[in-house]
Amino acid sequence: MSKSYLKLLLILTYFFLLFGSSFSQNAFNVFLEKDSLYRYNSTLKVLDSLVEVQKQRSYKPDTAFYRSYGKAEVINLNQMIYFALSNNPELKTMQYKIEAQKNFAEEKSYLPDPMLEFELDDIMSDFSQVGMINIYASQMFMFPGKLGLERKAVLNNSGMMEYELRNMAVKMINMIKMDFYDLYFIEQKLQVNRDNKLIVQNLISAAESRYSVGKGMQQEVFKSQIELSKLNNEEYLLDRQKKNLLADLSRLTKVVIDEKTRIDYSSIDINFLLDMDKFKLEGVNTDRLVNYALENRADLKAIENKIKMTRTDLEMSKLSRAPDFTLKLGYKTLPFEEKNAFSVMLGFNIPIAPWTSGKYDYSIQKNTINVKSANEEYSAKKTEIRNEVISAVNSLLSAKQTMNYYYTVLIPQSENSFKATQYNYETNMTTSLDLLDSYKMYQESRLMFYESVNMYLKMIADVERATGMNFKNLN
């Protein structure tokens, strides 16, 4: 009766997860079908390129999906990235600053306010008579090109901030992926720990039974119990690490992700990762990746805009020596004359006066130094990106080789060794201690494999971050 009830419960749970999770994913799937500033498909079979970030300018939050998420019981990597980029206050703050800079640029394209003056002239000392009543209107005109340069400088600063925003988004995505892959590794370690505890408990029972009939040693019982205590402590430490990672993901996504949240790891396809026909970076010219990164890296684009801004500032400082003009028109009422009169005045500042011209010289020198500094920063960043891409690709190739070695060599060998020891144990040719050591070696090889998978996934994310290249277009 209990077994049939358990089967029924498992069937109901399966259908609930199948249809419930698909319903919660519906709005998210609709979101992925639309173009968006932060459209990242982190499924390794169809990796989206960071180029998508360069093509879009803004995004519209999917409020329908946000409402449906409250009912979802499963969250995956795509959703974590979506929430992080939709909810992060630092990104929103930067976006507001960019909008403010664009408005400020338009503000710079306007002339100063005109002046309207009212003048009473030739007033008698007893205030009995006013000689003239004058009305003036004046407007200052900047030297041609000054307003355009000021607007251009602000727009360059706005462009630099836009690339800084995209660079912040890329870094945040990379941090989420690192935590997600670490969380996957912790889950595998917990599963191995549970398997180990189960086998150790069985060995303890077998050792106690053998010892009770005089066919075993008490040492086998004690060592198995010590091993079980180690596994319990390891499980506790792994749980702490898992909670730390969940807390960090909650901090990044601004969504509560805890032990009750079921994490969907379906985007991690082990068989796909082990396929040697995928991600053939060995045959790719590294210079191609470097050149692609130099064309698309947001942080390098930000420095390019910084160079443009400093050059514009230098042009402005040179043009500041040119005079600005003020045009003044007046209308005079002459009480003692038959007709009134007009007046026209044209004035301009004198930027070549010896007691003021020094500030223009120092401004030019300062902006010249700023241009040189920005150019050096650009060269240093290019060198850094080149080294970063080469290092990331080499690390990825090493991680792939290590992962395949563990899967094709180490795990099969340790598994065969464990089976041989198990056969010897069943035929009383060895002790449970030898069986335990052999099983631990097999499980350690599994852990090393999952650790290599974790490292491989991280290296994929790192190459993606460093180059922005879509791996499916590499060959």
Whether 1 is in a domain gets the answer: no
- Residue 42: the pLDDT is 42
Q: How far apart are CA 271 and CA 472, in angstroms?
A: 17
What is the per-residue pLDDT for 381? Answer: 92
- Assigned domain for 4 exists: no
Token couple for 230: 């180690």
* pLDDT the model gives residue 185: 93
Give the residue ranges of the chain where pLDDT is below 70: 1-73, 124-130, 207-218, 220, 278-284, 468-475
C-beta of residue 118 within 8 angstroms of C-beta of residue 330: no
Domain that holds residue 300: 23-473
In the structure encoding, which two tokens stand for residue 57, read together? Answer: 């300018």
Amino acid, res. 386: R
Is residue 18 one of the residues assigned to a domain?
no
The CATH number of the domain where 241 resides is what? 1.20.1600.10
Any domain includes 9: no
Name residue 139's beta-bridge partners.
327
Q: How many domains does the chain have?
A: 1
What are the tokens at 250? Answer: 């909650």
7 assigned to some structural domain? no
Predicted local distance difference test score (pLDDT) of residue 210: 64
Identify whether 11 is part of a domain. Answer: no
Q: In angstroms, rounded to a whole number, what is the distance separating the alpha carbons of residues 445 and 360?
A: 71
CB 268 within 8 A of CB 44: yes
For residue 270, the model assigns a pLDDT of 84
Q: Does 2 reside within a domain? A: no
User: Residue 336: what pLDDT?
Assistant: 72
Q: Report the distance separating Cα 53 and Cα 75, nearest Å.
A: 23
Kindly tell me the burial class for residue 313, based on how many C-beta atoms sit within 10 Å of its own C-beta (0-12, 13-18, 19 or more).
buried
Q: Is the residue at 13 inside a domain? A: no
**Angle separating helix axes 411-426 and 432-467, nearest 10 degrees:** 170
Please report the pLDDT score of residue 296 as a whole number: 85
